[in-house]
Structure 1
Amino acid sequence: MRAHVDGETVRTNALDLRETGVSEADALAAVRNPDGWVECPTPTAIHEYVGLLDGARDVGRPALAAAARSRGYDDPEAEALGALRSAVAEPLPEIRGLRAARERIASVTEDVTVRRERVERLGGKLAALRDAGVTDDGVKNAHRAAIVALADAETERVAADETHQRLRREVRAVRDERERRLQLVDEIRRRERESERALALAIEPSYERAQRAVPAGPWRDVLALARVARVRAPLVIAGGPFERATRATACLGAPVVLVAARV
């Protein structure tokens, strides 16, 4: 790494800032910020677990799994999880217009009713005139036009009903797909747990060896995690058992920044 401290540029994998005013938060931010005063490789996922070492900490299965991934261990669930996450991430279509379609059906249905009544009324009037032996071309033409208008309205109602039914099917399909994805989320969580378990078991022998290779004491487990992981970005160590930064780098196999522990 290359650090810009107090107007000077330092190239080292073992930076000791315990005699300066740099806090652990400042150092960690500098490591994780591409534009910070520490130039170094971009931190990876494991850095969330070991990027800051500031005291004793329980090391659980997720941390061990992250360490295994950092070292390139095969994840038996990786392919399945990738496919499941892709399926869940695919955006669902947004169905619009169902309410408008319902309102359209109500409107055209009312129109059909009105036009049918007009056809029946004119038809009755035309029949009465016929029985009386009277011919009225105006009534006859109005009746014919009313029949055409009724046919058009009925066609429009059929089209509106088809649109409404299609939208209902699409809404049901989206709802069913949403339910299916909720099940996929449950499956993702199950497989993630299986993945963590398998990876943690795979790296456990290496982790146990690392526990024997780091200083004994309350920091042992978290230091062993840092040692067993593959870390390229500097680790910020606040306090701890190391007298010199070079000892910390040699022990953990990673670049380090030592800062004073918080009081």
Structure 2
Amino acid sequence: MEVLLGKDVTPTVGQRVKMASQFKDKGQGTVIAVHANGGYCSVRWDNGQEEKVVFTGQRGDYFLVLDGDSGPMSTQDTGDDSASSANLHKQLLAQEVVKALRQAQIEIARLEAQKAEVIAQANAQKAVLAKEVKSLRAELERLGPNRNGAMSGDNVPTEDLVDSLQRRKEFEENFTRTLRDLRKELENTSIKSLSSKGQVSLGIRSLLQLSNERIEKVMEEAAQVPVEERLHIESLRLLMENAKLRKCLNEYSEGLLQHTLVKADQVNGQTTRNSSSFFGLI
């Protein structure tokens, strides 16, 4: 009587198996990896071929049965199976890392576009302000003060108007300088920047925590910047959204690392130590 893997017995690495009688005979083989909670397995057949997916319960299909006629596995076979299983897990981890990098590149590109938009708006505002100042100065020079120290047709003292324009110019310059400094501080919250400037080597988790603390500090400073016009509000709003996106990216990275470590726990002890050292988490 055939013993079906996944139905009559739980699939495990190292089991000697063969195809069920209703399927094409492929000889004897060895289970080298178990996936999807036993839903399918990877098998290396004795003829040297490997199959990554052989159903053992997934979709209700049972392709493998225990090979009761074969003897116990040799030590060499066990070592080869462990190495193959470790390589398979490494491939899965590499795929997760590549996926995370692609998503990070998309987020960075979006942040760069937002930064360019803020800079363009600030430059446009400065150009408009400079044009207004130039026009008003030309008007003042043309009219000149009357005997009472006021412009003709107007009761506003010339000195007060000049002071008002000067204060507005100084405010715009201070706002632009503050916004530029906050943007630089936000750029320095990246893990790459923190790891390159730090005198003490930190793990990725510590770097993520430090990055989030720096981002929150920038957000607190941005909330205290005075504004006068709609453009100022929109510029600060874009900066705050930039900061929030960076925090979201950090949270995603931390979740990905946690997910990666959980997968790494399924590998044998040696592979787990190598994977942990690779990600700098120990």
- Fold-level match, TM-score > 0.5? no
Looking at both structures, which has the greater relative contact order when contacts are Cα pairs under 8 Å and sequence separation is at least 6? 1
- TM-score w.r.t. the length of structure 1 is 0.36
- TM-score w.r.t. the length of structure 2 is 0.34
